């Protein structure tokens, strides 16, 4: 027979020890509900990529009442939705003190679908498809898509390893920065690029011209995911974060620009994040050398 006092002490010990089997495998409702939403959006992005290909091959030029570009846009929006859910699940877990090893693994598995498979299929079907007029696209298309997917999966696996609480980490590894381009940022860059190309294709049919640089951009993103370039995480920004009035006004202005010029603004924001990390990475050795002089 277990007395209530002993049961309470046992529960406290389990909560204090994240490696207790019961604690590690607990499924907390709200954080994992957000992760399930992330996985659902990733699945629907894949489905809409398939629908777009079916629309391309149909005689009427549409499928389920929507054209191929419409389905590609739906896929992009679902990837952005997955990004929103992915941003919420970790914040809810940290806010409520409900982080678990199960949640971390579940989140990574969902990210493989939403930010690995979905962007790879989106780029392959739209740009690197065998139906494109460029012969070298037909030859390297599957390879480029697989390299992106491989780097995304390895990036997620590395993230799970280096953030495991069992490992002893140096002070520089506790800075809060991401080591390598985060997989959600990589996926949203691909999605924003596709959205920008679809917008251009509506106006001047310039899809093929801009498609020439996309395989190189996708390979750059893949390499950055596996690099040691550090990117800011933004995890410290929460409901209690304070800011100055001018910064608040600047954020509102940026949001307004996103609403008005969403295709251009999204792509510029994603590229700015990528090159911010690269520029900061290149400047650090110079700053250290200057400080030692």
Which H or E run contains 66?
A: strand 66-67
Helices (H), the chain: 4-16, 21-24, 29-57, 68-96, 101-112, 118-126, 135-162, 183-204, 207-211, 214-225, 245-260, 262-292
Q: Where are the domains of the chain?
A: 29-165+175-235
pLDDT tens for 238-260 read 555 666 677 667 777 777 877 77
pLDDT tens for 169-224 read 655 555 668 889 999 999 999 999 988 888 877 655 545 566 667 778 889 999 99
Q: In this predicted structure, what is the pLDDT of residue 60?
A: 75
The arithmetic mean of pLDDT across residues 28-34, rounded, is 80
The CATH topology of domain 29-165+175-235 is: 1.20.120
Q: Is 132 left (phi over 0), alpha (psi -120 to 50) or beta?
A: beta
Measure the CA–CA gap between 181 and 278, rounded to whole angstroms: 10
Strand pairing partners for 66? Answer: 63
pTM for the model stands at 0.82
Measure the CA–CA gap between 38 and 78, rounded to whole angstroms: 9
Residue 3 pLDDT grade (very low, low, confident, very high; cuts 50, 70, 90): very low
Residues, the chain, total? 293
Nearest to 235 by CA among 100, 98, 78, 95: 95
């Amino acid at each position: 027979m277990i007395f209530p006092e002993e049961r309470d002490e046992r529960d406290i010990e389990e909560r204090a020890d994240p490696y207790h089997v019961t604690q590690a495998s607990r499924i907390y409702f709200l954080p994992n509900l957000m992760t399930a939403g992330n996985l659902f959006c990733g699945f629907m992005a894949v489905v809409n990529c398939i629908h777009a290909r079916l629309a391309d091959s149909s005689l009427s030029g549409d499928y389920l009442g929507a054209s191929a570009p419409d389905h590609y846009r739906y896929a992009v929006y679902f990837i952005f939705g997955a990004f929103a859910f992915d941003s919420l699940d970790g914040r809810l877990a940290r806010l409520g003190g409900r982080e678990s090893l199960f949640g971390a693994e579940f989140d990574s598995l969902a990210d493989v679908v939403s930010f690995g498979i979905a962007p790879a299929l989106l780029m392959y079907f739209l740009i690197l498809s065998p139906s494109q007029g460029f012969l070298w696209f037909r030859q390297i298309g599957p390879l480029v898509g697989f390299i992106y997917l491989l780097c995304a999966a390895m990036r997620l696996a590395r993230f799970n390893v280096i953030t495991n609480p069992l490992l002893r980490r140096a002070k520089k590894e506790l800075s809060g920065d991401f080591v390598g381009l985060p997989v959600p940022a990589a996926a949203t860059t691909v999605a924003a690029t596709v959205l920008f190309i679809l917008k251009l294709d509506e106006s001047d049919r310039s899809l093929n011209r801009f498609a020439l640089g996309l395989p190189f951009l996708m390979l750059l993103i893949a390499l950055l995911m596996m690099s040691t370039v550090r990117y800011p995480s933004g995890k410290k920004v929460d409901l209690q974060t304070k800011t100055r009035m001018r910064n608040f006004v600047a954020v509102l202005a940026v949001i307004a620009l996103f609403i008005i010029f969403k295709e251009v603004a999204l792509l510029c924001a994603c590229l700015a994040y990528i090159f911010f990390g690269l520029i900061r990475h290149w400047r650090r050795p110079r700053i250290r050398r200057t400080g030692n002089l």
